[in-house]
Structure formats: structure tokens, C-alpha cells
Structure 1
Amino acid sequence: MKLKFIPFSLLLLLSFGISAQTELECKTKLSNFHVATKSKKYDAAYEPWLYVKNNCPDLNLAIYADGEKILKHKIETSKGEIQLSYVNAMLDLWLLRKEHFKSDTPEGEFDTKACQLQYDYKDELGKTSIELFECFDVAFNADEENFTHPKSLYTYFSLMVELFDEGKKSSAELFKNYDEVNEKIELEIQNYSEKINALVEKVDNGGTLTSSEENKKSAYESYLKNYSLIQGNMNIIADKRAKCDNLIPLYTKDFEVYQNDSIWLKRSVSRMYHKDCTDDDLYEKLVKQYDKVAPSADTKVYVATVLFKKGKDDEAYKYLEEAYKLEKRPYKKANIALRIGTILKEKGQYSKARNFLSEALQLNPSNGKPHFYIASMYAESAKDKSCGKDNFHQRAVYWLAAEEAQKASRIDPTLQSSVKAYVANYLAKAPTKEEIFLSGLSGKTIKIQCWINRSIKVPKID
């Protein structure tokens, strides 16, 4: 009987030896490919990485973090069937990572990466738009918190638009998708704005940013720029498909079902407001219901827009002030102040508008839009005779407008191209060098009168 167990014992020892040897080799190759990856020598890293992935998939998270970089390089430097094999290898890698390191593989991040890669190579993979949309839709609904990449948010929405245009999605589905994605973008903009504001506050208090903080600030600004860009593109696309003629029947039909749903009411009111469908009786009906179901700073602003339409400006202004007082969170309060400022600007109440826009700047200093709006109000007042005693002093307002607009681009990189065009326009309308010379005011500071009540230095000429 003992002799029968000898081969089995030897087999156990042999298998143990192979396992130990494999583990040792995996650790050695792990070190090799990790060092190579850090040096961006991805081709050299590929073979040792592949061995570790195939033989010890649960050894270290670096198998997946580095593997992603290695396969990304392989995809970018190959073509045809070989490239496609690396695309599929990347998709398999994310599935394997979820299997062995589930807690370190948030669905909203990695499932979205998989969806985006399939979208990027949809023709090669034979993927349809409906398949790809469903891929993103599942990822978004499963883990919205970690579904944050700007490109993927835009892809998700653009697929919905494509399906809507093909008659495969309804108007209600399109607007719902737009609202969800847009709200997510707003949340990310708030997140990065608050991070930048914390760094700005440090500098304002006399501190100096470390090199790490400078890098973070640049990264945050980059994300803000990308989010703002895709949000702008989404608005253009949605606006072409959201007309009062189709919004009003849609919301009228759905009102009875959703009249106590605060989210539906908020989205409906917001869309009608931004599409300027506020003359229709439905808008007032939605606003009043929204204020009844979920009274908030937002609802007070919308009520104010109804009152302005009816010519009840004094009552409307009280609602705006109430809205501002209700909101306590700095970022949200800044947005309320910005909205109130823009409403008052459109009403021609420039002094009150500037007060709210200035409050918005203090609460959210990384948003340059208030500077931009203040600059435009200055420019619009340039022909106001009460702002200057003569043509020269009135047109000097354009220097003030240009100066204010430039502040916007300095703090908000998303506005640089727009600001550049407006500043050039303002300066072209300001007094010429010849006029400065003849005025005798070169290099002197002059006072702008009227509601502006600011001073500006006349450019010095030789």
C-alpha cells in the first residue's frame, strides 16, 4: 500500500515545485515589465507582462495598470488584424481585472472605457449604434458616480442623438438623456471649480502653490475646459432638436403623469426657460407647480421670470433676492448670483446686475463669465451720454470693457478665444492714438460717470 502512495507524493512535491517556480518567475517578470513600462519601453515590457498576466493574474494590480499602457501602445502602433487583436486583448484585460481586483475596478470607469474603445473601433468590431448606446447606458446607470470622462459622456449623448435622428428613440428619451448627461457634467464642473477655488484661495491668502499643486491646477483647468466644450456642443445639438413646437405638446401630455415629480418639473422648466418658450401658458403652469412641489432658490428664479414677463418687475426682483438668500452652498449660490445677474442685465438693470455678478465672482473665482458679462454691459453703455462729458470720454468706456473682459480669460481658460475676439472689438471702438494725442490725456486716469462709476487709465502714447 505504501508503494502506491509514493508516486502521488512525488507528484505533489513536483507540482509544488512548479508552482513555486512559476510564482518566482512571475515576480521577476513583474519587476521587469514594470521597470520597462515606467521607462515607456512598451515593446520590451510586452512579453514579460503577457507571461505574468497568463500565469499569475492575481499577483499585483500593476498587471492591469501597466498592461493598459502596454496595450494602448500596441493598438496605436499596429494596423489591421493585429491591431484588432490588441483591441480585443484590452477588452479582455478589463474583464480580467474586474475578476481579480473587483474593488479596484469601478464599473463606471472601466465599463465606460470598454464601451469607448468599442465605439472607437466600431467598424472593425462590427458594433451597431444601438449596441454601443446600450453599453454606455448600462455603465452610466450602474455607476454614474465614476462615469466621468468628458469624451465618453459626449459619446453617450451623441449615440442617443444618432438613434433619435434615425427614429429609434423618442423626443422624451432624447431630452431625458440630455438632462442626465448635462447634470452629470454640471456636477463635474462644480467638483473641479471647487478644487481650483481652494488653490486660488491659498494664493489670495499669501501662499504659494507647490509644483504638485500647480500640476493639479493645470489638470483641473484642462478638465473644466473639456467639460465646457462638450457641454456647449451638446447644447447646440439639443437646441436644434428642442423647439417650442415640440416641447410644449410633449410637456403638456406628460404633465398629468409627472406633475408631482420634482426632477421632471425642474428639467421641463429649465428647458422651456433656455429655449425661450416662456410666453406659453404652460411655462407658468410648470413654474408654479415646481415651486409648489419643491420650493428652492431655483424655483424662485423661475417664478421671477414669469413676473418679469408680466411686467411685475418689483415683485420679480423680490423673488430673485429671496432665491439668493435661500441658497447656502457657495458654488450653487454663485450660480444663482450669475443667473440673477444675467436676468437683470437683459432687463437693462446694469448696476444691480453688476452687484450680483460681482458676488458670483467672489463665491466662485474660477468662473470668468461674470467678468465677461460685466464687460459687455460696459460696452453697451459706451454711447450713453451720462457716462462721459464728450465723445472721447464715452468711448473710453471700451477700454474699461476690454480690461474687464481680459480678467475673464486670465481666470477661465475656457473663455480665451471668445474674450480675444471681444477685446479686439472693444479696442477697435476705443479712441485712436491720434485722438488720445489731441485730447492731451495720454497716460492720465479719467473717471467714467453714470452707473459704471469707475476709473480707467488712458493708454500712454509716445
Structure 2
Amino acid sequence: MRVLFLTIVLLIQGIGNAQKIDCSIQINEYQEFLSVRNFADAKSPWEFVAKNCPKQSVSVYTDGIQIYQYQIETASTPEDKEKSVRELMKLYDQFYKNFPENAQDFEIKKAMALVDNGIDSKDEIFALFENGFAKAADKVTEGNTIFNYFKSYNEKFIAGDKKISTEKYIEKYAQLNQLLNTLLVANASKSDEYQATLKSLKSISKEVINCDNLSEYYEKNSAANDQNQQWLESGLELLKPKCSNKPIFLALAQKNYDLKKSVKSAEYLAIASLKNRKSDDARKYYEESATLEENQIEKAQKYYYIGTSLYNNNLPKIKEYLSKSIAIDPKNTKAYVFLAETYANSAERCGKNDFEKKAIYSLAVQTAKKVLFHEPKSARIVESIVAKYNAKALAKDEISKAKLTGKSYKIECDINETIEFSSAK
């Protein structure tokens, strides 16, 4: 009896080992075909592996996806194409069954297989997207996938689906908008794709995502979410473009700032303050946002905005913030240009006489030229500034006559700058 038992065990082990050997042989065979893009001949040995060794490797499924994609692309009839699409969808199911950690977004992939191949099955596509995004939205990195999900959602809403209220529609839009903004930060190389998707979502939702609907939604739900910073920031991002003058924007901005002081929360509160004509508060919070900003280019841009937008006719403050911007980013051409323009615009007011007025225009020319040391590509812009103010600036003979060749000249008023005159004749 014991001998019989051992014989059976050895027989089972032998069959198992034979199966492993067979799978290895078949894997090598189909992968050789795939290496030369011979998908047709790769299919038979691949099918053997998929059937007999479904847990062999993740590559069994990624390779199978390639084979079915080829089969879909070369289908001779719409019926054959859909049949291959359905086979691909079954493969995604098997992938998830055997390697769930590697295929969490399998339902989203199935939906996109139907979308990409023009299979008219809208209810099925919508259901797959709904389930897939509920389980694995964080696995999505393609803007086109996000757009097609929202397009499907939008079509259901327009068709009058009773399960999708205006409130749910706004929630879905906010969710996908936030996902895209997260991807923008995480994957800057695809920023054009994500920006285009954001614009597309905005375009197809414009009848619903308006100030009235957004204000009503966030007013209704703000109390329940006043400790949810992610929800608050998502709402602020949606309201910011056209609805930042609404009371709800200020309310959300204040709650968000009170939860956590950050670059974003300070900026939102600065925008809200500005829209509510609280200029001092706007300056304070923009300054805080700039101080907290770690990205140096962004920090320079924030200082540029403060100087050029929040201190109208206050030349010392304009100089202060533009100087901060230039110190951080010496290639910031527009900061030099704005400062040069500001000096030139002050010539008539600050110049006590004709000589001083011309000296101020000379200062404007010299200021614009400074950027060329750091950013030679700005030459064309600088040339236009020089051409604009050179005719009004001091000529060499005027500088010589004033015995200032190779010397400096202090310009008072609120410009408070010293101009250096070249010693070259």
C-alpha cells in the first residue's frame, strides 16, 4: 500500500514538472515570435501558457495584451474586431484574478478597450468606469481615460439619469479635476496632456459648472467638510477662475487657511481678500505665500505679481518686489522691462529739469539692458525698449558737457537710484 502511495505521488510530481517544462518551452517560443513582432504565430504558444500556467508571471498578461491589440488592429470585419475586444476584456479579468495587485484598474482598462475601438456599449462602458474609478482612481495616469470617464458621466446626466443629480455631477467634476491637478504636480512631463484634459472637462461641463451651482453646492456642504482640507482646496480651485468674488470663496479660503498655513492656502486667501477690496490683507497673504514657496521660479513670479499688481503708483514698493524677483531669478526678463517702463513713466514727474528727465530715461535704458547679462535671448525685447527711450535719454555730448563722463549721477525722487555713465568716448 505504501509503495502504491509513493508511486502515485511521484507520478503527480512528474506531471507537474512536465507541465512546468512545457510552459517554459512555450514561453520561450512565443516570446521569440514577439521579439520580431510576429503576433500571429505567438498566439498559439501564448494561449497554452495562459491556460496551463495562469500564475506563471505578470508578463503572461502584458504579452497577451499585445497579442490581442494586434488581433484587434488587423481584424477584417467589425464583428471580428469586437470579438477580439471581448477576448481582451476577458484577459483583463484573468489578470486581475491571478495578479490583483498588478491589475487593480482592470475595469478601467476594459472600459477603454471598448471606447478606443468604437464598441457602442454606453451603459457597459459607464458601469465599468464607475466601478473602476471607485476602486482604483489613483492608478489612472492618462488624461484621455479621465476625459472619457467624465464624457460618459456627462452623457448620462444630460440623458436625465435620475441617479446623477447636479450635486453628484459637481462632486464628480471636482474629483476628476483634483485628480488631474495632482497628476500635473506628480508628472510635469505630461503637463500639456493634463492641461488639455482640464480644458476639455471644463468645456463639456460649462452648462452645469457655473458660479450659481458651485456656490449653492459649496454653501450647502461646507459645514460638513470644514475640516477636510482636500475638499476645501478642490472647491477653491473650481471657484477661483470666475467665482472668486463670491462670499463662499472667501469663507472656504479662510477655513482652508485656518486649517493649515501653506503656499496655496495663503494664495487663496490673498485672492479672496483682493476680490473683496481688502488690499492690505491681499498684500499680506501674497507675501506669506511667496515666503513659503520653495520653488524658486514660482517664488520669483509671486514677487513679480506683488510688485506689478498690488502696488499701483507706489514706486519704492514696486522696486522692492521687482528687485526680490530679479534676485531670485536673474533671467526674469519681464521684471527688468516692467522696472524700466516704471522709471520712464516717472520721468516727467520726478525730473526737476530737462537734464534730470533725460537721465531717468537713460536709467530706464540701462535697467532694461541688465537682463542681457543673464538672458541673451531677451535681446529683441530689450532692443525695443532701448529704441523707445534712447531718443529721450542723454546723448554723449550732454553727459560730457555736464562733466559726468565716467562718473555717477544720483536720481532723487522716489526712484532713488544712481546711474553710472560710461567713460568710453
TM-score, with structure 1 as normaliser = 0.64
2:27 aligned with 1:30? yes
**Cα distance, 1:239 vs structure 2:** 4.4
2:280 aligned with 1:314? yes
Give the Cα separation in 2 of the matches to 1:165 and 1:355: 52
**Cα distance, 1:384 vs structure 2:** 6.4
Q: 2:176 maps to which residue?
A: 181
2:240 aligned with 1:247? no
**Cα distance, 1:72 vs structure 2:** 0.7
Give the Cα separation in 1 of the matches to 2:28 and 2:88: 21
Q: Contact between 2:303 and 2:322, CA under 8 Å: does it hold in 1?
A: no
**Cα distance, 1:94 vs structure 2:** 1.6
Q: 2:196 maps to which residue?
A: 229
Q: 1:289 maps to which residue?
A: 255
Give the Cα separation in 2 of the matches to 1:379 and 1:240: 42
Q: Contact between 1:33 and 1:45, CA under 8 Å: does it hold in 2?
A: yes
Q: 2:56 maps to which residue?
A: 59
2:280 aligned with 1:280? no
Could you give the per-residue CA deviations for residues 78-121 of structure 1, whole angstroms, max 9, x where no partner exists? Answer: 13222122111111112212222334x2413x332122112334
Give the Cα separation in 2 of the matches to 1:69 and 1:144: 24
Could you give the per-residue CA deviations for residues 116-167 of structure 1, whole angstroms, max 9, x where no partner exists? Answer: 112334645x342xx4233223222323332222221221222222233333
**Cα distance, 1:30 vs structure 2:** 1.1
Question: Unmatched 5+ residue regions in structure 1?
Answer: 194-220, 408-422, 440-449, 454-462
The one-letter code of the counterpart of 1:188 is: L
Give the Cα separation in 2 of the matches to 1:234 and 1:352: 40
Could you give the per-residue CA deviations for residues 292-346 of structure 1, whole angstroms, max 9, x where no partner exists? Answer: 3444332322222233234443332122222233455x4xx86676567557655
Q: 2:89 maps to which residue?
A: 91
Q: 1:115 maps to which residue?
A: 111
When residues 140 and 345 of structure 1 are mapped into structure 2, their CA distance, relative to the original with a 3 A threshold, is: farther
**Cα distance, 1:273 vs structure 2:** 2.1
Give the Cα separation in 2 of the matches to 1:323 and 1:382: 25
Q: How does 1:82-231 map to 2 (within 5 A)?
A: 82-103=80-101, 105-108=102-105, 110-121=106-117, 123-124=119-120, 126-128=121-123, 131-168=124-161, 169-193=164-188, 221=189, 223-231=190-198
Q: Contact between 2:29 and 2:45, CA under 8 Å: does it hold in 1?
A: yes
* SS in structure 1 of the partner of residue 112 of structure 2: helix
**Cα distance, 1:71 vs structure 2:** 0.9
**Cα distance, 1:238 vs structure 2:** 4.0
When residues 305 and 17 of structure 1 are mapped into structure 2, their CA distance, relative to the original with a 3 A threshold, is: closer
**Cα distance, 1:254 vs structure 2:** 3.0
**Cα distance, 1:27 vs structure 2:** 1.9
Q: Contact between 2:266 and 2:289, CA under 8 Å: does it hold in 1?
A: yes
When residues 375 and 317 of structure 1 are mapped into structure 2, their CA distance, relative to the original with a 3 A threshold, is: closer
The one-letter code of the counterpart of 1:279 is: N
When residues 55 and 290 of structure 1 are mapped into structure 2, their CA distance, relative to the original with a 3 A threshold, is: closer
* SS in structure 2 of the partner of residue 107 of structure 1: coil
The one-letter code of the counterpart of 2:47 is: L
Q: 1:460 maps to which residue?
A: none
Q: Contact between 1:164 and 1:174, CA under 8 Å: does it hold in 2?
A: yes
Of 161-170 and 378-387, the range deviating more from structure 2: 378-387
* SS in structure 1 of the partner of residue 187 of structure 2: helix
Give the Cα separation in 1 of the matches to 2:173 and 2:311: 32
When residues 29 and 280 of structure 1 are mapped into structure 2, their CA distance, relative to the original with a 3 A threshold, is: closer
Give the Cα separation in 2 of the matches to 1:146 and 1:359: 41
The one-letter code of the counterpart of 1:150 is: G
Could you give the per-residue CA deviations for residues 258-287 of structure 1, whole angstroms, max 9, x where no partner exists? Answer: 344433333333322222x23333333333
Q: 1:69 maps to which residue?
A: 66
The one-letter code of the counterpart of 1:175 is: I
Give the Cα separation in 1 of the matches to 2:50 and 2:137: 29
2:255 aligned with 1:262? no
When residues 183 and 60 of structure 1 are mapped into structure 2, their CA distance, relative to the original with a 3 A threshold, is: same
* SS in structure 1 of the partner of residue 54 of structure 2: coil
Quick check: which has more Rg, 1 or 2? 2
When residues 245 and 345 of structure 1 are mapped into structure 2, their CA distance, relative to the original with a 3 A threshold, is: farther
When residues 66 and 233 of structure 1 are mapped into structure 2, their CA distance, relative to the original with a 3 A threshold, is: same
**Cα distance, 1:175 vs structure 2:** 2.5
When residues 327 and 375 of structure 1 are mapped into structure 2, their CA distance, relative to the original with a 3 A threshold, is: closer
Give the Cα separation in 1 of the matches to 2:377 and 2:202: 25
When residues 172 and 342 of structure 1 are mapped into structure 2, their CA distance, relative to the original with a 3 A threshold, is: farther
Q: How does 1:291-306 map to 2 (within 5 A)?
A: 291-306=257-272
Give the Cα separation in 1 of the matches to 2:65 and 2:31: 12
Give the Cα separation in 2 of the matches to 1:254 and 1:34: 55
The one-letter code of the counterpart of 1:54 is: K
Q: How does 1:336-347 map to 2 (within 5 A)?
A: 338=301, 342=305, 345-347=308-310
Could you give the per-residue CA deviations for residues 362-390 of structure 1, whole angstroms, max 9, x where no partner exists? Answer: 9xx9xxxx88xx49986995996569979
Q: Contact between 1:288 and 1:303, CA under 8 Å: does it hold in 2?
A: yes
CA RMSD of the aligned region, Å? 4.7
Give the Cα separation in 2 of the matches to 1:361 and 1:334: 6
**Cα distance, 1:76 vs structure 2:** 0.9
Give the Cα separation in 1 of the matches to 2:238 and 2:376: 29
**Cα distance, 1:170 vs structure 2:** 2.6
Give the Cα separation in 1 of the matches to 2:8 and 2:173: 62
Give me the identity figure in percent. Answer: 20
Give the Cα separation in 1 of the matches to 2:257 and 2:6: 79
Give the Cα separation in 1 of the matches to 2:91 and 2:310: 57
When residues 227 and 62 of structure 1 are mapped into structure 2, their CA distance, relative to the original with a 3 A threshold, is: same
The one-letter code of the counterpart of 1:119 is: V
